Amino acid sequence: MEDFLSLELPELEGRIHALGQPRYRARQIFSWIHGRGVFRADQMHNLPGELRKRLAPFLSPLPVELDRTLEAEDGTKKFRFRLRDGAAIESVTIPEEKRTTLCLSTQVGCAQGCVFCRTARMGLQRNLRVDEILGQYYAIRSMSEGQADLTHVVFMGMGEPLANLGPTCRALKILTHPLGCGLSTRRLTVSTIGIPGPLEELYRTVPVSITLSLNGADNETRSRLMPINRKHPIEEVLAALRRLPLAPRRRFTIAYVLIGGENDSLQDARQLVRVLHGLRCKVNLIPFNPFPETELRAPKEADVTAFQDLLRSKGISTHIRGSRGGDVLAACGQLCGDGP
């Protein structure tokens, strides 16, 4: 039996109509679930009592259960959730002065094998369902004072969103629906290694902000760091990005993890300028966040600054993204469900 939490509004309307109820009841139920975070039929007070009884089998508690919370010195929080089959995933909240960003997972583990990512060491255990993706959002929202406290949502946690395309798209559509969470597409970001076909399908479905994890400016370097590049080389991925119908005044984000001695030279920076030529984008430089099982090292601060300076001198908006939550292994590339 499919839980109503996973249904988009037209699907829910069909289910409610099959129960002999008018379709507007579906809009009420959808709003209770996704707008107010109410998952028990007996608490949906504007529904007839008989309907509430009939809905009970289709509604259940969230499929994620908080197992542990760790708070870093900078206020970043890492949440470990247990799923009903015992698997573990992690989500992160990153507070800033005028915004709080929630980082969600889309898979248990990851199959992509990026050498700088701790999640990759897990391998892929399974994809998350729609309700498990959304459950992270609703569970963390309920711990805060209200929905407004979570201003931005990024699909940057464990897993590759495009490798779990269907549930990712459905979750995004529910998060942006005006009767549900009502999040702006400008406040939703999907971070991806770049799989051309699914990338274009996702953007046609929900035109959210896209962050491309590039991390290498030539195919030899990127293939060494990211095995996916052997199947989808840089030229193919960037061509797919250029085909997306980007709205005026919007830009793509290029994420570039700087790893000491691997991809952080000025020659790498010059090559990055060449491959990004003509693409409406900004670059986020992310100094590598070491974790216990890796021999890779963080770049020197001077090399990071020099890399940024060269890109800026060529007219590319470039920012150094400071590491957040590293003392509790909550920083970019450090998530691992059963780890410390």
Query: In this structure, are residues 81 and 139 in contact, taking their beta carbons and an 8 Å threshold?
Result: yes
70: CB partners within 8 A, 6+ apart? 77, 78, 328, 330
Task: Report how far residue 207's alpha carbon sits from residue 246's, in angstroms, rounded to the nearest whole number.
Answer: 8
301-313 helix and 266-275 helix, angle to the nearest 10 degrees:
30
Query: In this structure, are residues 159 and 119 in contact, taking their beta carbons and an 8 Å threshold?
Result: yes
Task: Report how far residue 248's alpha carbon sits from residue 302's, in angstroms, rounded to the nearest whole number.
Answer: 35
50: CB partners within 8 A, 6+ apart? none
- 146-174 burial code (b ≥16 CB/10 A, e <16): ebeebbbbbbbbbbbbbbbbebbbbbbeb
Catalytic residues: 90, 332
Query: In this structure, are residues 207 and 247 in contact, taking their beta carbons and an 8 Å threshold?
Result: yes
